[in-house]
Structure 1
Amino acid sequence: MSTPSEFLESNLLLKALRKADRSLLEPHLELVQYGRGDTVFAAGGDISYISFPCDKTVVTLLISMADGRSAETATIGREGAVGGIVSNGGLPASTHAVVQLGGPILRIDSSRLQEAKRLSEPVRNLFSRYADCLLAQVLQSVACNALHPIESRCLRWLMTLQDRLGSEVLPVTQELLAAMLGVQRTYLTRILRTLQDQGLIAVGRGRITIMARPAMEKAACECHDCVRRHFDAVLGAVYGPTGRFVAFEPPPTPKAARKRAAMSAVEDADP
């Protein structure tokens, strides 16, 4: 039977922590297996846990409308986490988090993460930086959905998924992709046929294969590259040959901030 410790390095946020900082979280991590379509948390419900997708597990944040339609706002894999990353937890969720590709997820009670952030500046620093990157992804997605044609949005989504899987073969159905993009499947089918005719992808049953990643990057809008550059600048993201996130090397806390923290600690210690 698998244990949480076996998956600690299959999530890049946890892997980026020093051993001493990771030990603040490890005893409280729980391993949960999720299947495709499972709900991690629902809009309006309280968020009690912070969830870390591991290996090739992928979670999507969705906004659902009253008429039943929905659209993707962020896609999170082994590079990140979902839940109350910055808040104290226990607050109502604004989005629906659904598992897009099933697999293992490590989760921790939000109060335990808050305690670790209180005790460790590196933990606070890492999660603050990641929260900034996640917000950048959400905001870029909003702008892309409003301003760019469906072809560009489709390419952005496929490259985002490949970043998290590291494989040219993406196990995604046309129904799922249409739901993520907020369009009808018949319309999406025409778009995919166009991209296939251009030699960018190959569409199969239950999968889409990336045929020419460099050409896709040239044909897509700037949104995917903007998010990757932000991850690089803020979290020191390292990418593999297929474009997959493979490591984070976050910059250290600025010296000025460390000096202020040290001074505050001295003041707090004074009688």
Structure 2
Amino acid sequence: MSDTTINELDRLDGAFAGNLLLATFSAEVRGLLEPHGDVVSLAVGDHVQVRGQDVEWSYFPFGTTMISLVVEMDDGRTVQVASIGREGAVGGIVSCGSAPAFAQAQVMVGGPAMRVPMEALEEAKSRSGFVANLFCRFSDYLLAEVMQSAACNSFHSIQQRAARWLLTAQDRAGDRIELTQEALAELLGVQRTTVNAVVGALQDLGLISARRGRVIVVDRAGLKRHACECYSIVGEHFGSVIGPSGSGGSEGC
């Protein structure tokens, strides 16, 4: 076996261990996807799906990778409606075959992901009741996140929403989050000056430390106190519908 093959197998092992959906797979179920998967490195700003274009791949992030589903308005303004990291997947997971994407899927924190062609994913769903049920459950979780984001954007302050987003990013990327304030403003759908003021306020409270292109979470407990309830609600729902077994009833994401 060549070194290249060994390295790729190691990377696939990392994907199945590091992504919370893939980690629920038995050896038999894993065999349905693994031959078709390859591990790719995603960079900040990469688009893994584009609105209006057919979805050809599904991406399973692991490590620090974080992908945002973003809706863009006619005037160029954008807002994040969901974010997906090691707990999920992006691209055709909840559809029934090839279909055009509704939202942009943009990489916010770079890192690895396992990529699987849509045809292989649909075949796995047709051959395995476990896979079909797991992705049905994930669609429930993703819809819950989108609905909670809609409520959050309507009723909660920019500071609460920013704190929630930073906590979610910390869960996936660790304490050091590679993120510009301009990118955070786009995610929250607000002006850069508004985000500057919010970040400054969180720094003054000793909750975060912001440097050029980077945010470091200093006081997680304090940040949670300043976030809205949406952060814990979405995490708890993941545990209820998926959890470590893929059948729910345990820990959140």
1:86 corresponds, among 81, 88, 94, to: 94
Structure 2 residue matching 1:209: 3-state secondary structure: strand
What corresponds to 1:222 in structure 2? 229
1:183 Cα deviation from its structure 2 partner: 1.2
Pair 1:102-2:110 in alignment: yes
- Which residue number corresponds to residue 240 of structure 2? 233
1:249 to 221, 245, 248: 245
Distance 2:127 2:90 in 1: 21
Q: Is the 8 A contact 2:68 2:84 kept in 1?
A: yes
Q: Cα distance 1:188–1:46, how it changes in 2: closer, same or farther (>3 A)?
A: same
TM-score, normalisation: structure 1? 0.84
**Which structure 2 residue ranges, 5 or more long, are not aligned?**
none
Q: Which amino acid aligns with 1:133?
A: Y
- 1:104 offset after TM fit, Å? 1.9
Percent same amino acid at aligned positions? 44
Q: For 1:166-221, what per-residue CA distance to the aligned partner results, in whole angstroms no more than 9, with x for missing partners? A: x2221111111111111111121111111111222121222111121112212211
Q: Give the TM-score of the pair, scaled to structure 2.
A: 0.90
Query: Aligned runs of 1:1-271 on 2, under 5 Å?
Result: 1=4, 2-3=7-8, 5-6=12-13, 7-165=15-173, 167-236=174-243, 248-251=244-247
1:226 is paired with a residue of what secondary structure?
A: helix
Q: Deviations over 1:145-181 (max 9, x none)?
A: 111110111011111111112x222111111111111
State which structure, 1 or 2, has the greater radius of gyration over its C-alpha atoms.
1
- The answer for unaligned runs of 5 or more in structure 1 is 237-247, 254-271
Q: Using the TM superposition, give the Cα deviation of residue 252 of structure 1 relative to its aligned residue in structure 2, in angstroms.
A: 7.4
What is the CA-CA distance between 1:103 and the residue it aligns to? 2.1
What is the DSSP-based 3-state SS (H/G/I as helix, E as strand, rest coil) of the residue aligned with 1:127? helix
Aligned partner letter, 1:249:
S
Structure 2 counterpart SS, 1:12 = coil
